[in-house]
Amino acid sequence: MKEYELTVLIHPDLEADLDKPLDKVKGIIKDAGGEIVSEDNWGKKKLAYRINKEDFAVYVYFDVKLPADAPLKINNTLNITDEVLRYLLVSVDEKGRALLAEDKKRANRSEEGDDSRETKGE
């Protein structure tokens, strides 16, 4: 199974009861044979441009693992799902992820070094 990132923009009127549309999206992923690795609700945000006469949407991000034929099934289903204004399903760039993790480690090491210098100087 290959790793993907799925970002879904949910209709803002459904913010009060977000469980139903999220369960629907999760069901679409599982019905296609996928598994959800992680989920992150980014909350309600203003859109860069209007979509279906809406200025806001609830952004939800998923890390998913999908078999080869699942992305097409998910795309076809999300295209006709009323609760979803827009979505983006992209494959994960492993090299990019590794570089980001390395940069975070480097940043953490440099912060730790800065902290030790500050305490010595005081």
Summarised one tens digit per residue, pLDDT across range 89-109 is 999 888 877 888 888 888 888
The helix or strand, by DSSP H or E, that contains position 99, with its residue range, turns out to be helix 94-121
Four-point Cα dihedral 20, 24, 26, 27, nearest 10: 130
Same domain, yes or no: 9 and 52: yes
Amino acid occupying residue 4: Y
How confident is the model over 101-121, as a mean pLDDT?
72
65 and 112 belong to one structural domain: no
Q: For residues 80 and 54, state if they share a domain.
A: yes
Q: 37 and 15 in one domain? A: yes
Is residue 110 very low, low, confident or very high in pLDDT (cuts 50, 70, 90)?
Answer: confident
What pLDDT score was predicted for residue 20?
A: 93
Q: Is the Cβ–Cβ distance between 22 and 29 less than 8 Å?
A: no
If you ran DSSP here, which 8-state letter would residue 34 be given?
Answer: -
Would you say residue 120 has pLDDT above 80?
no
- Domains: count for the chain: 2
Torsion angle of the four alpha carbons 22, 18, 9, 45, in this order, in degrees rounded to the nearest 10: -150
pLDDT score, position 118 = 54
User: What does the pLDDT read at residue 62?
Assistant: 95
- 49 phi/psi in degrees, rounded to 5: -150, 160
Question: Based on the domain organization, do 18 and 70 belong to the same domain?
Answer: yes
Kind of pairing between the strands at 2-10 and 54-66: antiparallel
63/35 Cα distance (integer angstroms): 9
pLDDT digits (tens, 9 = 90+) for 5-63: 999 999 999 988 899 999 999 999 999 999 999 999 999 999 999 999 999 999 999 99
Domain housing 109: 93-122
Chain position carrying tokens 């992209």:
90
Q: How much is the pLDDT for 54? A: 93
* DSSP at 119: H
pLDDT at 9: 95
